[in-house]
Amino acid sequence: MPKTDADKSTRDISPQPIVEEMRKSYLEYAMSVIISRALPDVRDGLKPVHRRILYSMWKTGLKPTAKFRKSATVVGEVLGKYHPHGDSAVYDTMVRMAQDFSLRYPLVWGQGNFGSM
């Protein structure tokens, strides 16, 4: 009788100590998060969330010559299309991008108490 795919897959399974496997898997995941999300990119100094906000603003026509719009518009656009994690992370990042004391060159212009962009 020929071997099936199920027989082959059970041969490739090897027992692993759970503690060691969890330690290795967690470390690999943590490093991937740090490298891909938490550290700014060397090419432009932006994190992925910064890039998503700027791209979303560009796609919706929020350029330096455009009228100010509510920041909720930008946050909703980013959450809906690019960053499905939580509105506070996107809003906090956007506020930081407008502060002249947070970045050498502010990337967005806030208006008023930053309720509008």
Give the whole-angstrom CA distance, residue 83 versus residue 81: 6
In a domain, 117, yes or no: no
Q: At 52, is the pLDDT very low, low, confident or very high (cuts 50, 70, 90)?
A: very high
In a domain, 114, yes or no: no
Q: At 116, is the pLDDT very low, low, confident or very high (cuts 50, 70, 90)?
A: low
pTM recorded for the entire structure: 0.70
pLDDT at 42 over 90: no
pLDDT tens column, 82-110: 877 788 889 999 999 998 888 888 999 88
Contact call for residues 60 and 70 (beta carbons, < 8 A): no
User: Which amino acid appears at position 105 of this protein?
Assistant: Y
Give the whole-angstrom CA distance, residue 2 versus residue 7: 10
In a domain, 105, yes or no: no
pLDDT at 21 over 80: yes
In a domain, 90, yes or no: yes
In a domain, 74, yes or no: yes
pLDDT tens column, 55-72: 999 999 999 899 988 888
Number of structural domains in the chain: 1
Q: Give the burial class of 56: count Cβ atoms within 10 A of its Cβ; 0-12 exposed, 13-18 middle, 19 or more buried.
A: buried
Residue with tokens 């970045």: 103
Contact call for residues 55 and 82 (beta carbons, < 8 A): yes
> Residues 109, 55, 75, 77: is their CA dihedral positive or negative?
positive
Q: Between the CA atoms of 106, 112, 113 and 114, what dihedral angle is there, to the nearest 10 degrees?
A: -50
Q: What percent of the chain has pLDDT over 70?
A: 89
In a domain, 26, yes or no: no
* Paired tokens of 61: 């026509």
In a domain, 33, yes or no: no
Full domain range(s) for residue 55: 48-98
In a domain, 81, yes or no: yes
